[in-house]
Amino acid sequence: MENKWILSLGALILLFQFSIAQEDADLIWWNPAESNSLVVEGQAWQGEIISTYRRLPKQAEGVVREAVWNLSKHSAGLSLRFRSDAKSITVRYKVKGNHAMPHMPATGVSGVDLYAKTSDGDWRWYRGKYSFADTIQYKYSNIDPNEKYHDKGREYQLYLPLYNEVEWLEIGVPEDAVMEPLPLRQEKPIVVYGTSIAHGACASRPGMAWTSILGRELDRPLINLAFSGNGRMEEEVINFITQIDAKIFVLDCLPNLGATKDRSLEEVRQLIISGVKQIRTKRPSTPILVVEHDGYSDGAVDVDRYKTYTDLNRIAKEAFAQLQSEGLRDIHLLTKEELNLSMESFVDGTHPTDLGMMEYAVAYEKALREILKEPIGSISTTIPVTQAREPEMYPWEGRHQELLEMNRDSAPKICFFGNSITHYWGGEPKATLSNGADSWKANLDELQVRNFGFGWDRVENVLWRIYHDELDGFEAEQIVLMIGTNNEHLNTDDEILKGLEMVINAIKERQPNARVLLLGLFPRVDKEERMRNLNNGIAALATSKNVDYADIGKVLLGKDNKIDAGLFSDGLHPNAKGYRKVGKILKLALQEGKN
């Protein structure tokens, strides 16, 4: 009887193993290491990395200390982005180190973490069922990939292990699903040089590291060059960091710079000063943020620990004041008080819990938004987000990246921001649809107008695009803005105007010498009065912000102040004849601004 039971149990195990193997056989697998294009987010030296999931280039071996080099093999801060309509996603991979540490769980040390964006730019987190063995596996099931606008799936971001080296990794989706790796983003990254805390200790999972949270909140690439116990403001490491064309450099190394028998506080001061100057010499215009020690949760009861971080923070303030007195510009200090970690924010008195990580991220976001001039508000029109509402027509992020590349190659004289009315008018970059190409060519081409219109964009989407470098790195003569009609069914006039004001402020911050032309919104079928009233508010806003205003859409109305249906394709978008009428008026408005 006992033998029969053992045989039955063995048969069940074999059946289970067979079913798992069969399930895996029904998946198609993507191995990023075998990709024809660069796909690993968070790496600064693309194409110069020895192994797919490391952080420093091969040239760093033998130049930085061995401990730093070995820690750079950890995939902290690295992620993979892809689009899929799969109803289930499986990740399998192998790491080279121990799965867990005494103070940090396997899910943080060696786990992965999956997030996605909706078509309206909202983040979603996915719960994976995981197993830690020689091969680690995460399975994400019961995914509803459908969006309210389309059935093309979502954009995913998979965060890689914080404290381990990934040997190999594959992502599997069902055979009938779409799996599209997304190209690397071209926006300038945030670069963080730090210690074990920035490395990720002791987040419960990779997405909860403060660097990951900050990257999501600012929606910008972030390069994590933190090395546990070894963030020491070393010249060799900073030399590599200065090779990066960063949006901002963050120096969060004080927890690894406590005074020892081999290092005095005066030497710490000099390390801070020399490190900042080293970056400023190579990167004269990039902001630098120096960060104080976040403290220890037992500082109130341990005199030595209290003295350690208070001395370091005093030295940081003195070094910062000296740098300012010597005329270094665009340097900033984030203090312990601004970090504002509580007694309950630590695992072991030193490394943050998830609560501490969130407090870190909140403080950093506040500081960086102020430094980078990227404020946000509390209503939807004032919170910058991406969108993917029309993927069957064009890739929203792809068009954004194309504009960044075009701007670098040849600066536009006039930038025309808008939604589908602008996008499908004509010009460059080319769209799949062009309803007014002849009008654009006749009226706007000779003025060197570049089309910054994106189908389905709302005010908050344009705000995101301006915050993400679309007006950086060149000087335009004019900026034209016509946005807000897609907010009509969601927001009040006042909310739309508040968002437009933030957009104008963002434009002026980045293009202070450009003339700004604010256009009234085109009339819409059965909503002519609403658009007229909203345009009155837009005209008043233009006056208050000292920018020009033109209501070029008035020519699309009949004598009864209703839209002339013969000038529209659908009651919202002009047809070719309508574009010819508004094109002539826009050309005159642009030429007037040059005189």
Mean pLDDT of the chain: 95
Q: DSSP character for 32?
A: G
Is the Cβ–Cβ distance between 253 and 231 less than 8 Å?
yes
Q: For tokens 């008043």, what's the residue?
A: 540
Q: For tokens 């002791």, what's the residue?
A: 202
Measured CA to CA, the distance from residue 401 to residue 463 in angstroms comes to 16
Is the Cβ–Cβ distance between 440 and 433 less than 8 Å?
no
Mean pLDDT confidence for 77-96? 98
Is the Cβ–Cβ distance between 382 and 463 less than 8 Å?
yes
Computed on alpha carbons and rounded to an integer, the radius of gyration of the chain in Å comes to 27
Mean pLDDT confidence for 49-65? 97
Measured CA to CA, the distance from residue 570 to residue 420 in angstroms comes to 13
pLDDT at 16: 45
Q: For tokens 């590349």, what's the residue?
A: 405
Band the pLDDT of 271: cuts 50, 70, 90.
very high
**Ranges 12-21, 246-255, 295-304: which has the least confidence:** 12-21
Is the Cβ–Cβ distance between 479 and 415 less than 8 Å?
yes
pLDDT higher than 80, residue 13: no
Mean pLDDT confidence for 480-490? 98
pLDDT higher than 80, residue 109: yes
Measured CA to CA, the distance from residue 399 to residue 401 in angstroms comes to 5
Mean pLDDT confidence for 55-75? 98
Measured CA to CA, the distance from residue 588 to residue 429 in angstroms comes to 23
pLDDT at 595: 56
Measured CA to CA, the distance from residue 196 to residue 365 in angstroms comes to 20
Measured CA to CA, the distance from residue 291 to residue 347 in angstroms comes to 21
Measured CA to CA, the distance from residue 570 to residue 592 in angstroms comes to 31
Band the pLDDT of 336: cuts 50, 70, 90.
very high
**Angle, helices 303-325/265-282, rounded to nearest 10 degrees:** 40
pLDDT higher than 90, residue 224: yes
Token output for 586 = 């826009």
Mention every residue, 6+ apart, whose C-beta is less than 8 A from residue 191: 44, 222, 223, 225, 241, 244, 246, 248, 249, 250
Measured CA to CA, the distance from residue 458 to residue 485 in angstroms comes to 7
Measured CA to CA, the distance from residue 245 to residue 223 in angstroms comes to 11
Q: What is the pLDDT of residues 357-394, one digit of tens each?
A: 999 999 999 999 999 999 999 999 999 999 999 999 99
pLDDT at 496: 98
CA 62, distance to chain mean position in Å, is 33
Q: Residue 331 belongs to what H/E stretch? A: strand 331-334
pLDDT higher than 50, residue 481: yes
pLDDT higher than 60, residue 22: no
HSE-up of 354 (CA within 13 Å, CB side)? 8
Measured CA to CA, the distance from residue 511 to residue 373 in angstroms comes to 13
pTM over 0.85: yes
Mean pLDDT confidence for 59-67? 98
